[in-house]
Structure 1
Amino acid sequence: MPAPADAVLVLEDGRTFAGSAYGAHGTTVGEIVFNTGMTGYQETLTDPSYHRQIVVMTAPHIGNTGINEEDVESTRIWVAGFVVRDPAIRPSSWRSTRTLDDGLAAEGVVGISGLDTRALTRHLRERGVMRAGIFSGPALVDASGRRRTDQDLLDEVTSAPVMTGADLAGEVTVAEPYTVEPVRGPASGTEAVATVVAIDLGIKSMTPQRLAERGVRTHVLPATASTQDVLALEPDGVFFSNGPGDPAAARHEIELLRDVLDRRIPFFGICYGNQLLGRALGFGTYKLTYGHRGVNQPVMDRRTRKVEITAHNHGFAVDAPLDGESVAPHGDGRYGRVVVSHVALNDDVVEGLECLDLPAFSVQYHPEAAAGPHDADYLFDRFVELMTKEPSTDAPSH
Structure 2
Amino acid sequence: MKITDIKIGQISVPLKTPFKTALRTVNSVEDIIVEVHTDTGNIGFGEAPPTGVITGDTKGAIIGAIEEHIKKNIIGMDIENFEEIMIKLDKSLIKNTSAKAAIDIALHDLYGQLYNAPLYKLLGGYRKEITTDITISVNDPEEMAKDSLDAIKRGYTTLKIKVGKNALLDIERMKAIRKAVGYDVKLRIDANQGWKPKEAVQTLRKMEDEGLQIEFVEQPVAAHDIEGLKFVTDNVSIPVLADESVFSPEDALTILQRRAADLINIKLMKTGGLHNALKICSLAEIYGVECMIGCMLEAKVSVNAAVHLAAAKSIITKIDLDGPVLCSEDPVEGGAIFNEYKITLNDEPGLGIRKINGTKYLNY
Structure 2-normalised TM-score? 0.33
* Structure number, greater radius of gyration: 1
TM-score by length of 1: 0.31
More RCO (CA 8 Å, sep 6+): 2
Higher normalized strand content (fraction of residues) = 1
| Structure with more helix by fraction | 2
